[in-house]
Amino acid sequence: MAEELKQTYSSNPIMCFNCGNKTLMELIGEYNAGCAEAGEYTRFQLFRCPVCFRPTLHEEYQDDFMQDYNPITGEAEYYDVKTILYPRNTLDSSVLPSEVKTAYDSAMKVRNINDNICAMALRRTLEQICIDKGATKWGLKDKIEEIAQKGFLPDTLKEATIIAKKFGDDGAHKECSGDVDFLIEFVEYIIEYIYVLPAKIVEFKKRFTT
């Protein structure tokens, strides 16, 4: 008789971007590429959500350059980068301020459930970005123009945020089915420009100057 497979779960709750639940997931497949002893490895893990039963694919990467120095002991401590490859979730939300991350995560939780609620949550994400960058004006359009004048946005992204605002307003009054993916892409471009890209530049400097 074939040996029964041992049921294994993730060590921490994982966000399911299929249904929006954050829960422990069953590990149903794993594959390692590279070699940790050689200084570089990549681990792929396939999880199954116990709520919607849809898959989530994780990638975990580490190499010899990925290290920080403990300020107390002075010793090098290695770290890794975890990425959700599927469902589509290319944004690194770990570098976001807590209020922006909360608003963005709320939008992602309902992206496959309700387009209108997702659109309004993305509008809220834009508002939190503007507040984080020091905007004090009342309306979202004025807030966007305010942070653009401060140099946080180029003209192209300033126009994109105005489009995103329109979708957010429409989401409160009429159906916006089919447009939400377009809106998500715009908002992610803004987040990438303001938060993710500067964090990556800092990371590159650390890796090539140590």
Domain boundary among 89, 115, 150: 89
CB 34 within 8 A of CB 62: no
pTM: 0.62
210 in a structural domain: no
Task: Tell me the CATH number at 166.
Answer: 1.20.120.330
* Residue labelled with tokens 């980068």: 81
* CA 66 to chain centroid: 20
Instruction: Tally the domains of the chain.
Output: 2
Sign (positive or negative) of CA dihedral 125, 130, 132, 137:
negative
149 in a structural domain: yes
35 in a structural domain: yes
Task: For residues 37 and 49, state if they share a domain.
Answer: yes
- The residue range of the domain holding 46 is 8-89
Q: What is the pLDDT along the chain (210 residues), one digit of tens a residue?
A: 334 445 688 888 888 878 778 889 999 999 888 776 666 778 899 999 998 899 999 888 877 666 676 777 767 676 667 778 888 765 666 788 989 988 988 888 887 778 888 888 888 998 999 999 999 988 888 888 888 888 888 776 666 666 666 655 655 555 655 678 888 888 888 888 888 888 878 877 776 765
CA–CA gap between residue 26 and residue 75 (Å, rounded): 35
